[in-house]
Amino acid sequence: MKEFNINNLLRDNIKNLKPYSSARDEYKEVSGDMVFLDANENPFQNGVNRYPDPQQLKVKTQLSQLKGISPEHILLGNGSDEVLDLIFRAFCEPNEDKIITLPPTYGMYDVLANINAVENIVIELEIDFQPNVDDILRAANSQTKLLFLCSPNNPTANSFESEIIEKLITSFQGIVIIDEAYIDFSSEKSWINRLQEFPNLIVTQTLSKAYGMAGIRLGVCYASEGIISILNRIKPPYNVNELTQLRALERLSQPEDVSEEIKRIIEQRDWFISELEKISFVQIVYPSDANFVLVKVDDANKRYSQLINKGIVVRNRTNQPLCENCLRFTVGTQMENIKLIKALKGL
């Protein structure tokens, strides 16, 4: 790509922003017993009476060891949804700038575009669920600030080919966001290992899926120090609460437990796929690099309601492009998966 200068992509108000300085920002880890009378907190200890660390340094340090990425390249948010919203607010001028998304994909990109009054240019995936590089680059111009690549993609469950991703990162003149919510289930490598090569790359991950912590809301953003420092300036100061930080630390310190669960989910996924292929009204079981499976059936609306009547909720994706009559099944526990397969066989 041409000489990359982040200032050419940032909104003017963000370039000139003077961030809110919280009471705790002024105190920098002084050792010894300090008396904190700076933030109008209640002094009686109950575990959460103090404001949380706005920089979540302990969690970042833990993540940094796990992923081999230094803390200056990490930003944490209240779920990836907050991280994605911060990216919009940093780079997209309302009613002026645009983004590019590749449906069928995660619905939040379009919702966030609408909330931020940013036009979403839609370039559908090819029939094999890979991005069409030429169409994307043809649609790109100086106003298309963000390109969202979800890999493995939700709801199609495939990863994008790495040559295609690389071509897009190097040719697209804005910021490329790779949403790796499902990377831990994938056979592909994470792009966080290549951040140094691509100054316009942002990679997002989450503790909501493989890490089993959707309830605590913790999203992770990896990018250049320049991008991270900008997002840091616009994030709400205490966006990751103390309970979330504590639970995340606990979980991140037991990576073997997480790996074991991932292994079991993948085993279940592969069993589940082989069983789905035996069901008479199943037409296509798409390969999966994630913890869910996209399945084309004879009549998605009918099968969806039949499953609801049997007490099983799945996701009906029939109205998404390229997903006519498709259902998306999350891989559950062995018992849940057996229950679903039995229910499908009985329809």
Binding site for ligand PLP (CB under 6 A): 79-81, 106, 150, 154, 179, 181, 206, 208-209, 214, 219
Nearer of residues 181 and 295 to ligand PLP, judged by Cβ = 181
Q: Are 221 and 74 in contact (CB under 8 A)?
A: yes
Closest distance between ligand PLP and the C-beta of residue 184, in Å? 12
Closest distance between ligand PLP and the C-beta of residue 33, in Å? 37
Closest distance between ligand PLP and the C-beta of residue 310, in Å? 25
Nearer of residues 10 and 216 to ligand PLP, judged by Cβ = 216
Closest distance between ligand PLP and the C-beta of residue 183, in Å? 10
- Residues 6+ away with beta carbon under 8 Å from 245: 52, 53, 56, 58, 59
Nearer of residues 322 and 338 to ligand PLP, judged by Cβ = 322
| Tokens representing residue 163 in the block | 């040559």
DSSP code of 225? H
* Residue nearest ligand PLP by beta-carbon distance: 79
Closest distance between ligand PLP and the C-beta of residue 294, in Å? 13
Closest distance between ligand PLP and the C-beta of residue 119, in Å? 21
Nearer of residues 125 and 344 to ligand PLP, judged by Cβ = 125
Beta strands in 151-200 (DSSP E): 175-179
Helix/strand number for the chain, H first, E second: 12, 11
Nearer of residues 326 and 344 to ligand PLP, judged by Cβ = 326
Nearer of residues 145 and 209 to ligand PLP, judged by Cβ = 209
Amino acid, single-letter form, for residue 171: S
**Strands ordered across the beta sheet of 201-206:** 74-77, 219-222, 201-206, 175-179, 144-150, 98-101, 119-122
DSSP code of 222? E
Q: Are 294 and 288 in contact (CB under 8 A)?
A: yes
Closest distance between ligand PLP and the C-beta of residue 112, in Å? 11
| Tokens representing residue 214 in the block | 């959707």
Long-range CB pairs of 306-310, under 8 A, 24+ apart, other chains included:
306/347, 307/340, 307/343, 307/344, 307/347, 310/343, 310/346
Closest distance between ligand PLP and the C-beta of residue 130, in Å? 17
User: CA-CA distance, 333 to 124, in Å (whole number)?
Assistant: 33
Element (H, E) at 308: helix 300-309
Nearer of residues 78 and 144 to ligand PLP, judged by Cβ = 78
Please provide residue 174's backbone torsions phi and psi, each rounded to the nearest 5 degrees: -115, -155
| Tokens representing residue 17 in the block | 């922003």
Nearer of residues 179 and 289 to ligand PLP, judged by Cβ = 179
